[in-house]
């Protein structure tokens, strides 16, 4: 089929291994469209994600221009915009890569019906996952609830298809004035923060866009994969891939990651062991599993998967929540993580588990309050991974960590940040303490505190909660719901 086509970019902000884009381009000159969705009952993306998105769209626009294409930006409700654009621009084929949130699926179905009704061909593809949520099931065809059998079944499906190359040319066509009038600039999508300019740390840490993603993967395979299986739990080492925001925005897809990993190992470009490679792939597997859970449980971000938790006696406390958000809890590993998040839009996975456990269990704050803060501040904020992970830590999720397993942030620090390098980086007021004292400064001798220039309660907060007391209180609260 030839004519005018429209590719609707969503979380697939790349040219390579983008099956829907390739199909559009094969059909003729292509209108490449991105719509910042402000439609009714859509969850607005958070501040950090908005920063990332505008950078990524900028990079995508440049990449398209190099291939004779053009990225057209709009803002509004796709349910209104897309049919109008398609009709007025004389489009005969629309393509997109599929999404897995219930509201998005409903919107896409409505659009498919409306566009098809107008004689427009609509084709959708899988650009985001190795396996779509309905492709992995139990032997009786039911959704999976436990990760290990899920991943085993997914692996048995064999190698994912080889990634496809970016189209060499993506020619655009000129748009009627009525459509040009609907376009907006990048600035209109969301102004870069100025007063205060909170994005300095984000700019220093990241290069959003397809090239930034490819470089990040190359660097990781070249120097990070070796030792990943053990070091991935060490926040004081740059031992993980940091691909999460790139994967979330679809600047790189999991098929590309999979094949790059195998290629690099086969050619000797990646030094990691079989165990390192398998561990890394299983993390990609957790991403797949989280999407599987979200698809089968559309309210994952708002509702306890395990309904026993509906009766959980949370203790809402705005002041405590605020201190957690700002990294002022008086617990060094927690504060380090929350400050890393605030500055860079990212936090190490081990520390995410520790700060989440501290909020939910030691402070008895509802996991949804933490989920919402992460949603706003993470550059990789993801409806599936965020909700599934918060419920995992809370103990209310599928295949969750049992509620009674309460992370002790002091021993977690001593084990995973043994010399306190991570805490020293993000909580510099504690930098002068010894390795022994750095994870529990309230126990340091007066002399040690004086020599390090620390006054607990003045230069660094006293702990927001006594850890032993908080742990027991959480266990009692859990016992209350378990016994009904
Ligand atoms: P790597 O270790 O290099 O892993 C490779 C990729 O696998 C990641 O980029 C990511 O896409 C995926 N992955 C790794 N761990 C997980 C996991 N536990 N669950 C799902 N996918 C995973 N991840 C997000 O992408 N978005 C979120 O909003 C998010 N919120 C989280 C909230 C909490 C409370 C916790 C405990 C974890 C959350 N995670 C989230 C999962 C995980 O922390 C990040 O994916 C990981 O830290 C990203 O770093 P990386 O890319 O270096 O990971």
Q: Per residue in 117-126, pLDDT tens?
A: 999 999 999 9
Distances in whole angstroms, Cα of residue 298 to Cα of each of 210, 341, 384: 29, 27, 9
Most informative mutation of 287, 344, 372 for ligand 1 (most atoms within 8 A of CB)? 287
Report how far ligand 1's centroid is from the alpha carbon of 125 (Å). 24
**How would DSSP label each residue in 194-214?**
-SS-TTHHHHHH---SHHHHH
- Site to probe by mutation for ligand 1, drawn from 47, 283, 334 as the one with most ligand atoms within 8 Å of Cβ, is 283
- How far apart are the CA of 124 and the centre of ligand 1, in A? 26
Identify the pLDDT of residue 403: 82
* Least confident segment among 63-72, 184-193, 323-332, 413-422: 184-193
Q: What is the whole-number distance in angstroms between the Cα of residue 286 and the centre of ligand 1?
A: 8
Q: Is the CB of 385 under 6 A from ligand 1?
A: yes
- Tell whether ligand 1 has an atom less than 6 A from the beta carbon of residue 424: no
> One of 132, 349, 429, 442 is an active-site residue; which one?
349
CATH 1.25.40.80 domain locations along the chain: 129-162+209-296
ipTM of the complex: 0.99
Known active-site residue 283? yes
Burial class (CB in 10 A: 0-12, 13-18, 19+), 391: buried
Share of the chain above pLDDT 70, in %: 98
Question: What CATH number belongs to 129-162+209-296?
Answer: 1.25.40.80
User: Atom 47, ligand 1: which residue's CA is nearest?
Assistant: 349
Q: Work out the mean pLDDT of the chain and round it to a whole number.
A: 96
- Residue-wise pLDDT for 131-140, tens only, equals 999 999 999 9
**Ligand 1 midpoint to CA 347 (Å):** 9
354-401: pLDDT as tens digits: 999 999 999 999 999 999 999 999 999 999 999 999 999 999 998 877
Of these residues, 324, 367, 375, 426, which one is catalytic? 367
- 442 is a catalytic site residue: no
Q: By three-state DSSP, how is residue 372 classified?
A: helix
Taking domain 307-481, whether its CATH number is 1.10.579.10 is answered by yes
Kindly state if the Cβ of 286 falls inside 6 Å of ligand 1. Answer: yes
- Residue 405 above 90 pLDDT? no
- The separation between the first and the last C-alpha atoms of the chain, rounded to the nearest angstrom, is 62
Listed in order, the ranges of the chain carrying CATH 3.40.50.620 are 1-127
The reply to whether 96 belongs to the active site is no
- Res 21 pLDDT > 80: yes
| CATH T-level topology, domain 1-127 | Rossmann fold (3.40.50)
Tell me the C-alpha distance between 291 and 135, whole Å. Answer: 12
Q: Verify whether residue 286 is a known catalytic residue.
A: yes
- Which numbered atom of ligand 1 lies nearest the CA of 348? 47
In which residue ranges of the chain is CATH 1.10.579.10 found?
Answer: 307-481
């Amino acid at each position: 089929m030839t004519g005018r086509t429209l590719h609707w970019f969503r979380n697939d902000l790349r040219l390579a291994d983008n099956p829907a884009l390739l199909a559009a381009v094969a059909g003729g000159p292509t209108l490449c469209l991105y719509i910042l969705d402000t439609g009714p009952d859509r969850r607005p993306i958070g501040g950090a994600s908005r920063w990332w998105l505008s950078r990524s769209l900028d990079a995508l626009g440049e990449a398209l221009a190099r291939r004779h294409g053009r990225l057209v930006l709009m803002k509004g409700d796709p349910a209104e915009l897309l049919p109008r654009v398609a009709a007025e621009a004389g489009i005969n084929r629309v393509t997109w890569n599929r999404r897995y949130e219930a509201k998005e699926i409903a919107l896409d179905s409505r659009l498919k019906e409306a566009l098809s009704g107008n004689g427009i061909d609509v084709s959708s593809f899988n650009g985001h996952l190795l396996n779509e949520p309905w492709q992995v099931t139990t032997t009786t065809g039911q959704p999976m609830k436990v990760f290990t059998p899920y991943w085993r079944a997914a692996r048995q499906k064999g190698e994912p298809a080889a990634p496809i190359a970016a189209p060499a040319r993506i020619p655009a066509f000129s748009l009627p004035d009525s459509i040009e009038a609907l376009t907006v600039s990048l600035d209109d999508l969301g102004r870069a923060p100025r007063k205060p300019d909170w994005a300095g740390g984000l700019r220093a840490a990241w290069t959003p866009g397809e090239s930034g993603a490819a470089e990040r993967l190359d660097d990781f395979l070249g120097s990070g994969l070796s030792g990943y299986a053990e070091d991935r739990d060490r926040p004081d080492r740059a031992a993980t891939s940091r691909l999460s925001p790139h994967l979330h925005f679809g600047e790189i897809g999991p098929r590309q990651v999979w094949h790059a990993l195998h290629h690099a190992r086969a050619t000797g470009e990646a030094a990691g062991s079989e165990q390192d490679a398998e561990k890394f792939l299983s993390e990609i597997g957790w991403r797949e599993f989280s999407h599987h859970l979200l698809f089968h449980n559309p309210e994952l971000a708002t509702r306890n998967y395990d309904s026993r938790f509906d009766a959980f006696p949370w203790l809402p406390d705005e002041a405590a929540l605020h201190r957690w958000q700002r990294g002022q809890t008086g617990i060094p590993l927690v504060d380090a993580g929350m400050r890393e998040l605030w500055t860079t839009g990212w936090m190490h996975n081990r520390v995410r588990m520790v700060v989440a456990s501290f909020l939910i269990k030691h402070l008895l704050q509802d996991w949804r309050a933490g989920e919402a803060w992460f949603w706003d501040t993470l550059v990789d904020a993801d409806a599936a991974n965020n909700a599934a992970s918060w419920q995992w830590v809370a103990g209310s999720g599928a295949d969750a960590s049992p509620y009674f397993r309460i992370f002790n942030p002091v021993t977690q620090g001593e084990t995973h940040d043994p010399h306190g390098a991570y805490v020293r980086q993000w909580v510099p007021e504690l930098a002068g303490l010894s390795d022994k004292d750095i994870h529990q400064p309230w126990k340091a001798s007066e002399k040690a505190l004086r020599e390090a220039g620390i006054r607990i309660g003045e230069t660094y907060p006293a702990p927001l909660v006594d850890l032993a007391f908080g742990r027991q209180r959480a266990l009692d609260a859990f016992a209350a719901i378990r016994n009904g």
